[in-house]
Amino acid sequence: MSTFILTESKLEPAKAAYDFTLPAGDGWMHEIKRGQTFRIVDLDGNQAVDTLFYNAHEMSDRYSAQDTIREQGSIYLTAGTRLISSEGNVLATLVADTCGRHDTLGGACAAESNQVRYALDKRWMHSCRDTFMLAITRWGRGVTKCDITHNINFFMNVPVTAEGRLSFADGVSAGGSYVELRAEMDLICLISNCPQLNNPCNAYNPTPVRLLIWD
């Protein structure tokens, strides 16, 4: 039986330096300075927030899902998890988590993987990778598709069984759940607020999330 340990934060939204609500299907690319605290709130519950982090001064030093889960010895992310980069650096630490479990195995949905997973004629449907592509194109600064790597899915539940099966299970995130990270270096964060309608990762109902930053 798995256990979820919930960790709350004392930070007050009214005192945040930045407060933005990101609709489902939209992207967000933003700097977070070292020492700042970043919170993502799953306003309505069971949303999937596809998230990548980069060293703001060296984009090739970026979030690595495999390094992160291996260094902590567990496939799930929760309070205490240190997000490890491809160069072995600590990007951020999860300091609060009222959901209790986040996925980093499932990756982002894409138009092309939707064709594989569901049907060849699903290519037109909106997807996280398309959101990422538009966000990085607007951001510019030499960021390209090769910088879109294996992301975190905050609030998503992707259990692995002893037999090595992987499934997209029903959500575990109640409305108002949040996860909070402390930036351990100057970061760039890239988010797609997942628009997927083909599986229960959003409970078939993509909803907005609130993004807060405290100095």
Q: Which residues bind other proteins (CB under 8 A)?
A: 1-3, 59-61, 64-67, 69-70, 73-76, 86-88, 101, 105-108, 110, 112-113, 115-117, 119-120, 129, 144-150, 158, 160-162, 164-168
Of 26 and 147, CB closest to other proteins: 147
As a whole number of angstroms, the distance between CA 67 and CA 181 comes to: 18
Q: Which is nearer to other proteins, 9 or 149 (CB)?
A: 149
Shortest approach of other proteins to residue 42 CB, angstroms? 20
Cβ atoms < 10 Å from Cβ of 210: 17
Task: Please identify, using beta-carbon distances, which residue of 187 and 213 lies nearer to other proteins.
Answer: 187
Phi, psi of 137 (to 5 degrees): -65, -40
> What are the backbone angles phi and psi of residue 148, rounded to the nearest 5°?
-90, 100
Closer CB to other proteins, residue 14 or residue 146?
146
Q: In terms of Cα–Cα distance, which of 32, 31, 77, 60 is closest to 149?
A: 60
> Of 47 and 151, which has the nearer Cβ to other proteins?
151
Nearest-approach distance from CB 14 to other proteins, in angstroms: 35
Provide, rounded to whole angstroms, the least separation between the CB of residue 58 and other proteins: 9
Q: Considering the complex, what minimum distance in angstroms separates the CB of residue 179 from other proteins?
A: 16
List 7's β-bridge partners, or say none. 97
Report the 10 Å Cβ neighbour count for 125: 17
Beta bridge partners of 192: 27, 50
- Least distance between other proteins and beta carbon 34 (Å): 21
Residue type (1 letter), 125: M
Quote the CA–CA distance of 160 and 76 in Å, as a whole number.
10
Could you tell me the smallest distance in angstroms from the CB atom of residue 212 to other proteins? 27
**CB-nearer residue toward other proteins: 73 or 140:** 73
The encoded tokens of residue 67 equal: 């390094």
